[in-house]
Amino acid sequence: MRTLIVGANGQLGQELQATASQTKNHIELIAPKLERLDICNQTQVDSYFAEFKPALVINAAAYTAVDQAEQESELAFESNRDGVANLASACKAHQARLIHISTDFVFDGRASVPYKPADIAKPLSVYGSSKLAGEEALQTSGLEDYLILRTAWVYSSFGGNFVKTMLKLMAQRDSLGVVADQIGTPTYAREFAKAIWAMALNTEFQGLYHWTDAGVASWYDFAVAIQEEALEIGLLKIPIQINPIATAAYPTPAQRPAYGVLDKTDTWDQLNCAPTHWRVRLREMLNTLAKSSGNL
Ligand SMILES: NC(=O)c1ccc[n+]([C@@H]2O[C@H](COP(=O)([O-])OP(=O)(O)OC[C@H]3O[C@@H](n4cnc5c(N)ncnc54)[C@H](OP(=O)(O)O)[C@@H]3O)[C@@H](O)[C@H]2O)c1
């Protein structure tokens, strides 16, 4: 199946390429960089589809600079809303199936139990609003065969992310303060990529779903686990002090949901898969990183 991965150079895009050969189907991958396919450019999208005629499209592209988006609202909406609309329109014209990735940041974080896909979205940030607008653009595009997958707290051995930032800081400092009052679920992009392939290749999956690894954590819990696991396998040599701090002590331009745990029950049931705790997946990612000589 000829499959177009958009955002191929991002952390999820690279994991999708790395896991494509593990699917049962034969996947013919097309994975252009941003310079070759900018989803904001409708003419370029249309001519790219006319040339390559993909049957399946996975959109892992997004404007993901959450804090910078507060100053660059137009750019965020251009990629995260208009870009999605352009892809949906091209998929409709070519009868292609579209898999689109979204985020827990569409929620306001005032819940205390995991968010279900149908729960009311109320973003707190420009990034969250632009991602929600992208979901809505796809839902109202007239394209029938699509999937929206919301995820959260994604990390990988590819690209930049919280795990790699923590490892760098833990190697440089004597102590670190990490936010302890934001709760979510760390998610290894490699496992998410495998789940995406499973859902993308099964057309019984239609509409809106949630996916993260299992369990919950604060950023502080996540940082403590990163240090423990990294010390265990020699990625870090000396433990440092990690202190829990309040969000108010670490102000950022964008407001983040205090609670961003997603309910994955329906996804896991339909996939018939056993959920795996995020800490197990963290260990796997750190081992992958260690094998690539700890390249941060
Ligand atoms: N990271 C997280 O914690 C997280 C959490 C929840 C949801 N998500 C969602 O998961 C998806 C993948 O995220 P990620 O972490 O893999 O992001 P990422 O590493 O920032 O990668 C995003 C990719 O999109 C590309 N891109 C940006 N604008 C584009 C455009 N107009 N046309 C084509 N490509 C464009 C970027 O190109 P360049 O490399 O050239 O900049 C980059 O390769 C996104 O939809 C994101 O919103 C991420």
Domain boundaries, given as residue ranges, for the chain: 2-159+186-214+260-275
Annotated catalytic sites, by residue? 127
Answer whether residue 294 shows pLDDT above 60: no
Kindly report the protein residue whose alpha carbon is nearest to atom 36 of ligand 1.
7
Q: Which pLDDT score, from 0 to 100, does residue 292 have?
A: 84
Q: How far is the CA of 33 from the centre of ligand 1 (A)?
A: 12
CATH 3.40.50.720 assigned to domain 2-159+186-214+260-275? The reply is yes
Kindly report the protein residue whose alpha carbon is nearest to atom 40 of ligand 1.
34
Answer whether residue 154 shows pLDDT above 90: yes
- Please choose, from the candidates 98, 103, 117, the residue with its C-alpha nearest in 3D space to the C-alpha of residue 203: 98
Indicate whether residue 7 lines ligand 1 (CB < 6 A).
Answer: yes
Indicate whether residue 64 lines ligand 1 (CB < 6 A).
Answer: yes
Indicate whether residue 103 lines ligand 1 (CB < 6 A).
Answer: yes
Q: How far is the CA of 59 from the centre of ligand 1 (A)?
A: 9
CA distance 173 to 177: 11
What average pLDDT score do residues 289-293 get?
85
* pTM for the whole structure: 0.95
Q: How far is the CA of 87 from the centre of ligand 1 (A)?
A: 15
If 0-12 CB within 10 Å is exposed, 13-18 middle and 19+ buried, where does residue 100 land?
A: buried
Indicate whether residue 229 lines ligand 1 (CB < 6 A).
Answer: no
Q: What is the pLDDT of residues 176-201, one digit of tens each?
A: 999 999 999 999 999 999 999 999 99
Question: Percent of the chain at pLDDT above 90?
Answer: 94
DSSP 154-183: EE-SSS--HHHHHHHHHHH-SEEEEE-S-E
Asked if residue 29 lies in contact with residue 20, where contact means CB atoms within 8 angstroms, the answer is yes
Tokens of 179: 């936010």
Among 5, 43, 63, 64, the mutation site with the greatest number of ligand 1 atoms within 8 A of its Cβ is 64
